[in-house]
Structure 1
Amino acid sequence: MKKIILIFISVITIISCRSETAGTEVVKNLMDAEKAFQNGLEESGEKSREEFFQSAVLYEELLRSAQLNDARILYNTANSFFMAGNIGKAVLYYRMAEKRQPSNRLIRDNLNTARSAVLFKIPRDEPNKLIRTLLFFHYDLSSQIKSQIIYILIFLIFAAASFLLFSKSLAIRNTLIILIFPLILFTGSILQETFLDDEGVIIRATYGRKGDSEGYDRAFNEKLSPGIEFKVLEIRKGWYYIELFDGNTCWISSDSAEIIY
């Protein structure tokens, strides 16, 4: 198993600055999670894995109870699960962290390392470097940042249009045209993300089925291993209809996977 880049990001100072909303208990739990992670680095063998798992559990509880879904906390959660040997949860939380900071190379490198540890590997198509460079705004900016840029562009366009009502300045007209172009690009990027299928990660080894019940035949001979990523095509009570990145489809129980949000 390849080593991940263990750059631990302390979030205590960040959360302490939000004391009005976070509360002392949240800060204490974060401190406990960070301490357990450090203990895991100092221990070895089963004791080390136990400490990492304890750190991961504490982070996960905070993510759910305190809604602290900051990329830095998600990244630390993923590191803890990876070091504890839980590849499924590691891939899940690295993907969540990447969704919030797409351009963060550290998150991307650790995600790739976690993917390499998945037993049943299903390769996924990635954009080549040229396309990724040309469309950097689509791949390297989060939805939140793109939305903020759109708001700024709309404000500037309305301001330029207002000036144009009182002036026939060629410079203002050209500025208006220039601003419309990036607005179209960023809006198209947001719309493309909106209409994409949700994605998820297998967190517990499970058989893919040909229908939404344990009574249906298995879709594959082997279990889908933790860490496998997929697209969600349909959701029914207790079941997901998924498409793997090799094009195969099947049904899986909803308790064997989690959706990336």
Structure 2
Amino acid sequence: MKQLIYIITLFISSLSLAQNEAIFDQANALYNEGNYEAALGKYNTILESGQHSAALYFNIANAHYRLNHIAPSIYYFEKALLLKPNDKEIKNNIVYARNMTIDDIDDIPEVGFSRLVTNTTNLMSFDNWAKTAIGMVVLFIVLFLIYYFSESTSKKRFAFVSSMLSILIAFLALGFAFHKYELVEKNQPAIVFAVETPIKSEPNLRSPESFKLHEGTKVQVLDTVSNWKRIELSDGKTGWISSDAIKMLKVF
């Protein structure tokens, strides 16, 4: 019975995938004809079916860009970039979309040891750092056994030094794995969708206004209180924004 259910589910999924591919081709044809609104309707039909991909988000972003929809174009370019962070075409197009925004916010770059640690951590994913740590532990065990059972002094010396080096690398890789996990968890980006919205000093309407933000600006969400989000800008400024004024990027 379970096998029959699995086969039926697989068959339905295949039909849905084939249907979405046909809709995707139709949407692309409409886009190439300059009918961007109709193309968006087709793309959104695919999204509503639960299918997500960098190519789909990228095409949705391009359609919104053609229609001068600032926030949606940046939002979907950013979502595409989350799925394909090294894609040059996405990176190039998102620059054009960001040029439509009003807010001019400077980035505060990391410096010194903090920058070195972050750059090293970002060389690999959490999974790859974890696999490296496990691999080094296995290597340590093998080298330690060679050291323990070898009768040659030179082999013992080589195995001992190599085993110590491998366990050191294992601990470093484990540290980078946990740091990568923390970076990913702390990274909660969102895009401002309100045309203009006040940023409050506290999470309530009566609090003083610290500054204003406009559509398309990217922020980091630090905390949530009721219907308010505490955000941070790339220049270090913080404040509270209504949850309705932004859309979280890591929601798929």
TM-score when normalising by structure 2? 0.72
Matching residue's letter, 1:107? I
| C-alpha RMSD of the superposition | 3.5
Q: 2:161 and 2:233 mapped to 1: Cα distance?
A: 48
Q: Which residue of 2 aligns with 1:229?
A: 218
Matching residue's letter, 1:118? T
Candidates 162, 167, 171, aligned match of 1:174: 162
* 1:55-204 superposed matches below 5 A: 55-62=42-49, 66=50, 68-125=51-108, 138-139=121-122, 141=124, 146-168=125-147, 169=156, 170-171=158-159, 173-174=161-162, 177-178=165-166, 179-180=169-170, 183-184=173-174, 186-187=176-177, 189-194=179-184, 196-204=186-194
Q: 1:172 and 1:93 mapped to 2: Cα distance?
A: 52
Q: 2:143 and 2:118 mapped to 1: Cα distance?
A: 31
Shift of 1:237: 2.4
Gaps of at least 5 residues in structure 2 are: 1-8, 148-155
Q: Which residue of 2 aligns with 1:53?
A: 40
Is 1:38 the counterpart of 2:22? The answer is no
Matched pairs, number: 228
Gaps of at least 5 residues in structure 1 are: 1-17
Larger gyration radius, structure 1 or structure 2: 2
Q: 2:239 and 2:224 mapped to 1: Cα distance?
A: 12
Shift of 1:135: 7.0
Percent of residue pairs identical: 18
Per-residue CA deviations over 1:102-151 (Å, capped at 9, x if unaligned) read: 222222222222111213332334579xx99997664465xxxx233224
Matching residue's letter, 1:89? P
Contact 2:146 2:159 (C-alpha < 8 Å) held by counterparts: no
TM-score when normalising by structure 1? 0.70
Per-residue CA deviations over 1:156-175 (Å, capped at 9, x if unaligned) read: 22321221342115257526
- From the two aligned structures, give the one with the greater strand fraction: 2
